[in-house]
C-alpha cells in the first residue's frame, strides 16, 4: 500500500512536531511517523508506577526559540520561572541555594564567602549576556566560513556586529569561555567550593566528561540560553503540565492537516537515484514523498534507516564517529512524602545537585572513561510534583534523579537487572546524603540506564543529546562537517532533531530550521547539494 505526501517527518518529539506543524502551516501535505503510541519523544509523560507519572526527562521546559513561538503561535504557553535554581549540600542538614534573584543568592553566599557574594551578581549578568549571544546563533542556520550569497553573508555580518556590540570585555570573555573548562571558569570567579560545584555541574550535563574538560564552559552557557534573568540553572516549567508544549504543537499540527501515524516505526527511508522517494514503515506500509525530515538522531537516520550505499564512505565514516556516549541515567521515585528539609524545603522546587565539590564531579566522570559506572555518581534531583501535583496521588510526590556517569557501554559485562538496580541503589545513597531520610519515603523506583533510554526512546547509545555537546559537535559541525545546514547528503532528506544545530534542550529549534530549509529548497525547486560540498 502506498500513500503519497509532500513530506514525511520521522519522530514525534518536540522537534518532529514543530517541523510538521511548520510545514503544515506552509501548506505542505505532511505525515508524521512516531514509533511510540504517544507523542512527545523524551518529553512524553509516562506512568512508572501505579498512580505515579513522570515526564520523560526532568521536566525542564528547555528554551523554545522566539522564532518558533511566533511562527507557530505558541505565545499562550506560560512558564514557571526556575526559582530557586540549584542547591548543593554543604554539610549534613545544611545547603547553599542559588536563587533567581542575584541579591538573594549573594546574601546566601555571603554567609560562607563574602568575596564570592560580591562577585555573584556580575558573574550572573555576564553569563546571561554570553548566553544571549548564543541565542542569536541558535535562531538561524549555523554560520560557516563558506557562507555565500547576500543572505548568508548579511547574517554573518549581523552576527559579527552583535559580537562586537557585546563590548570588548564580554567579547573576549565569550571567546575565552567557550573553549574553557567550567572548572577554570568557576575557579577564576569564586573561591567557595560548593558554589563552584553548584555552578559547574551545569557544564557537564549529559557529557561523558568532567568539569576539567575544555568546552564545558560552553555547555554551561548552552543550557542557560533562554533562562530567565538571574537563573543559573534550568529554564522553567510549563504551567499547564510537563507536556504542555508537546500538546500545543501537536494541536497546531493537527489544525494544519498533518497526518499523524503513531505506534509505528519508520523502518527505511526509500531512495531512488540519490533522491528520497518515501518512507517504509515497520508494518510494511510505504509512504511516498519527495522529502523526509528525520528528527531521530543522525546515526539512526543515516546508518539504520538509510541504505548505506547512498552515502559516501567519508560521510558514513563521519557519522560513525559522532560521539553519542550516553552516560546519564534517570531514576524515578514515587515518594510517600518529601524528605524533611525544614526551613530549606523550598529548595526542592529547584534542582538539588548532590555534589558539592569540583573534584567530586570530576571523580564521578573518571570511571566512565574506563567504561565503568561511577561509584559515587553525580546526582541532580528534582521534584516535579511541586509544580504538577497531578503526577502523583494526593499528597504524594515524584522525584526524578539524573545521574552521571553511567556509560552506555560497560567494559565489564552488560547492563542487566542486577547492574541496573545496583546503580539505583548508588543513586539513592547519594541522594540520601544530600537529603537525609530521602530513601525512607520512597515507595516506588524505576531506574533507566542509558541502555534503557536507548530502547525506550530509540536513542543511539542512550544519548538524550542526540550527540554530545562537545565543541567539535556544535554549530557548523553538527551533526557532521559539511552537512550542518539541516539538509543531508541524499536529496530531499533533512535532519531536524537535536542532533542538528542548535542541539538539545531547545525544543523545536532544529525542527524549525530543518522545515525552513526544506521550504526554501522547495521554493527554489532545486537541491543545493553542490553548494553544500563546495
Partner 1 sequence: MLNLTPFHPRTAPLVRAQTWRRWAGHQVASAYDPHPDREYAAIRAAVALIDISPLHKYHIHGPDAVRLLDRMVTRDVTRCAIGQVLYTPWCDAAGKIIDDGTVARLDTDSFRLTSAEPTLRWLAMNAVGLDVTVEDVSRPIAALALQGPLARAVLAAASPGDWTALRYFRLLHTRVGDIPVTVSRTGYTGDLGYEIWVDAARAVPLWDALMAAGAPYGITPCGIWALDLARIEAGLIMLDVDYYSAHRAPIAAQMSSPFELGLGWAVSDAKGPFNGRQALRVERRRGPEWDFVGLRVQWESLEALYAEHELPPQLPIIPWRGSVPVYRDGHQVGYATSGGWSPLLKQYLALAHLRAPHGRPGMPVRFEVTVEHVRRQADAVVHPLPFFDPERKRA
Partner 2 sequence: MKGRSYDVVVVGGGHNGLVAAAYLARAGRQVLVLERRPVLGGAAVTEEVFPGFRFSVFSYVVSLLRPEIIRELDLPRHGLQILPLESTITPLDNGDYLGAWADPDESRRELARHSPRDAEAIPVFGRLMQRMAMAVRPILGVVPPDPASLAPSDLRGLLRLGRHFRDLGAERVHALYKLMTMSSADYLDEWFEFDPLKATKSASGIIGTFLGPRSPGSAYVLLHHYMGEIDGAFRAWGFQKGGTGAISEAIARAARARGAEIRTGEGVERVLVRGGEAVGVALTSGEEIAARAVVSGLDPRRTFTQLVDPGQLPDELVEGVRRYKFRGSSGKVNLALDGLPDLTCLPGVGPHLRGAISISPSLEYLERAYDDAKYGAFSQRPYMDIVIPSMIDPQMAPPGKHVMSIFVQYAPYHLTGGWSDAQREAFGDAVVESVARYAPNLPSLIRHRQVLTPVDIERITGLSEGNIFQGELALHQLFFLRPVPRWARYRTPIRGYWQCGAGTHPGGGIMGASGRLAALEMLQAGER
Contacted entry of partner 2, partner 1, none for residue 15, CB cut-off 5 to 8 Å set by kind:
none
Spatial neighbors of 320 by CB under 8 A, at least 6 apart, are: 299, 303
Single residue of 191, 366, 416, 421 touching partner 2 by CB under 8 A: 366
Considering the rule CB under 8 A, would residue 531 count as an interface residue with partner 1? no
Least distance in angstroms from the C-beta of 492 to partner 2? 22
| Binding region for partner 1 (CB under 8 A) out of 50-58, 70-78, 222-230, 305-313 | 305-313
Q: Greatest CA separation found in the chain?
A: 71
Contact present, 330 and 406 (Cβ < 8 Å): no
| Binding region for partner 1 (CB under 8 A) out of 16-24, 87-95, 300-308, 334-342 | 300-308
Residue 446: strand pairing partners: 332
Considering the rule CB under 8 A, would residue 314 count as an interface residue with partner 1? yes
Distance (Å, whole) CA 503 – CA 467: 8
Least distance in angstroms from the C-beta of 181 to partner 2? 8
Cα dihedral: 351, 356, 358, 359 (round 10): -130
In the complex with partner 1, which residue's Cβ is closer, 313 or 342?
A: 313
Considering only residues 293 to 352 of the shown chain, the ones binding partner 2 according to CB under 8 A are 317, 321, 323
Considering the rule CB under 8 A, would residue 316 count as an interface residue with partner 1? yes
Distance (Å, whole) CA 9 – CA 16: 6
Closest CA to 12 of 263, 356, 342: 263
| Binding region for partner 1 (CB under 8 A) out of 276-284, 311-319, 323-331, 345-353 | 311-319
Contact present, 512 and 18 (Cβ < 8 Å): yes
Distance (Å, whole) CA 10 – CA 496: 9
Distance (Å, whole) CA 78 – CA 95: 30
Distance (Å, whole) CA 294 – CA 10: 5
In the complex with partner 2, which residue's Cβ is closer, 114 or 179?
A: 179
Considering the rule CB under 8 A, would residue 310 count as an interface residue with partner 1? yes
Considering only residues 214 to 243 of the shown chain, the ones binding partner 2 according to CB under 8 A are 214-215
| Lookup result for grid cell 521546559 | 61
Q: Quick check: helix, strand or coil at residue 120? A: helix
How many residues bind partner 2 (CB under 8 A)? The answer is: 37
Least distance in angstroms from the C-beta of 459 to partner 2? 20
| Binding region for partner 1 (CB under 8 A) out of 167-175, 303-311, 334-342, 415-423 | 303-311
Considering only residues 447 to 486 of the shown chain, the ones binding partner 2 according to CB under 8 A are 470-472, 476-477, 481-482
Single residue of 26, 147, 166, 303 touching partner 1 by CB under 8 A: 303
Structure-block grid coordinates of residue 271 = 531512495
Least distance in angstroms from the C-beta of 117 to partner 1? 55
DSSP designation for 227: P
Contact present, 436 and 339 (Cβ < 8 Å): yes
Considering the rule CB under 8 A, would residue 164 count as an interface residue with partner 2? yes
Binding site for partner 1 (CB under 8 A): 274, 303, 307-310, 312-317, 320, 529, 533
Amino acid at each position: 500500500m502506498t500513500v503519497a505526501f509532500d513530506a514525511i517527518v520521522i519522530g514525534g518529539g518536540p522537534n518532529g512536531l514543530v517541523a510538521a506543524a511548520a510545514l503544515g502551516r506552509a501548506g505542505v501535505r505532511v505525515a508524521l511517523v512516531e514509533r511510540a503510541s504517544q507523542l512527545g519523544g523524551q518529553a512524553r509523560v509516562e506512568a512508572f508506577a501505579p498512580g505515579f507519572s513522570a515526564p520523560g526527562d526532568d521536566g525542564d521546559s528547555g528554551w523554545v526559540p522566539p522564532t518558533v513561538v511566533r511562527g507557530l503561535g505558541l505565545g499562550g504557553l506560560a512558564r514557571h520561572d526556575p526559582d530557586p535554581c540549584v542547591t548543593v549540600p554543604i554539610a549534613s542538614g545544611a545547603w547553599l541555594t542559588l536563587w533567581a534573584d542575584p541579591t538573594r543568592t549573594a546574601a546566601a553566599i555571603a554567609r560562607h564567602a563574602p568575596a564570592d557574594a560580591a562577585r555573584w551578581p556580575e558573574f550572573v549578568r555576564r553569563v546571561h549576556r554570553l548566553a544571549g549571544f548564543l541565542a542569536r546563533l541558535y535562531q538561524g542556520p549555523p554560520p560557516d566560513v563558506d557562507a555565500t550569497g547576500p543572505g548568508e553573508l548579511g547574517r554573518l555580518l549581523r552576527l559579527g556586529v552583535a559580537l562586537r556590540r557585546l563590548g570588548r570585555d564580554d567579547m573576549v570573555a565569550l571567546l575565552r569561555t567557550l573553549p574553557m573548562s567550567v572548572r577554570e571558569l568557576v575557579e577564576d570567579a569564586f573561591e567557595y567550593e560548593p558554589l563552584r560545584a553548584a555552578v559547574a555541574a551545569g557544564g557537564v550535563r549529559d557529557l561523558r566528561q568532567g568539569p576539567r574538560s575544555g568546552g564545558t564552559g560552553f555547555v554551561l552557557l548552552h543550557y542557560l540560553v533562554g533562562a530567565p534573568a538571574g537563573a543559573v540553572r534550568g529554564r522553567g516549567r510549563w504551567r499547564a503540565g510537563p507536556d504542555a508544549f508537546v500538546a500545543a504543537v501537536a494541536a497546531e499540527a493537527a489544525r494544519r492537516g498533518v497526518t499523524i501515524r503513531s505506534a509505528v516505526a519508520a523502518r527505511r527511508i526509500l531512495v531512488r537515484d540519490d533522491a528520497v522517494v518515501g518512507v517504509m514503515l515497520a508494518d510494511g506500509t510505504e509512504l511516498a514523498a519527495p522529502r523526509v525530515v528525520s528528527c531521530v538522531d543522525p546515526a539512526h537516520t543515516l546508518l539504520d534507516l538509510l541504505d548505506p550505499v547512498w552515502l559516501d564512505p567519508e560521510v558514513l565514516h563521519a557519522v560513525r564517529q559522532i560521539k553519542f556516549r550516553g552516560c546519564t541515567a534517570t531514576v524515578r521515585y514515587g515518594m510517600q512524602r518529601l524528605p524533611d528539609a525544614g526551613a530549606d524545603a523550598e529548595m526542592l522546587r529547584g534542582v538539588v545537585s548532590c555534589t558539592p565539590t569540583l573534584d567530586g564531579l570530576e571523580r564521578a566522570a573518571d570511571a566512565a572513561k574506563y567504561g565503568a559506572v561511577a561509584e559515587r555518581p553525580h546526582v541532580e534531583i528534582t521534584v516535579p510534583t511541586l509544580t504538577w501535583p497531578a503526577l502523583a496521588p494526593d499528597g504524594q510526590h515524584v522525584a526524578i534523579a539524573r545521574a552521571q556517569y553511567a556509560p552506555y557501554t560497560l567494559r565489564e559485562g552488560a547492563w542487566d537487572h542486577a547492574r541496573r538496580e545496583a546503580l539505583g541503589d548508588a543513586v539513592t545513597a547519594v541522594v540520601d546524603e544530600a537529603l537525609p531520610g530521602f530513601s525512607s519515603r520512597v515507595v516506588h523506583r524505576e531506574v533507566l540506564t542509558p541502555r534503557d533510554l536507548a530502547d525506550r526512546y530509540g536513542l543511539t547509545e542512550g544519548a538524550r543529546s542526540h550527540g554530545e555537546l562537545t565543541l567539535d559537535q556544535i554549530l557548523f559541525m553538527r551533526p557532521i562537517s559539511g552537512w550542518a545546514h539541516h539538509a543531508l547528503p541524499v536529496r530531499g532528506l533533512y535532519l531536524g532533531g537535536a542532533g542538528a544545530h542548535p542541539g538539545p534542550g531547545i525544543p523545536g529549534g532544529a525542527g524549525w530550521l530543518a522545515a525552513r530549509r526544506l521550504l526554501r529548497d522547495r521554493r527554489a525547486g532545486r537541491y543545493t547539494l553542490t553548494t553544500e560540498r563546495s
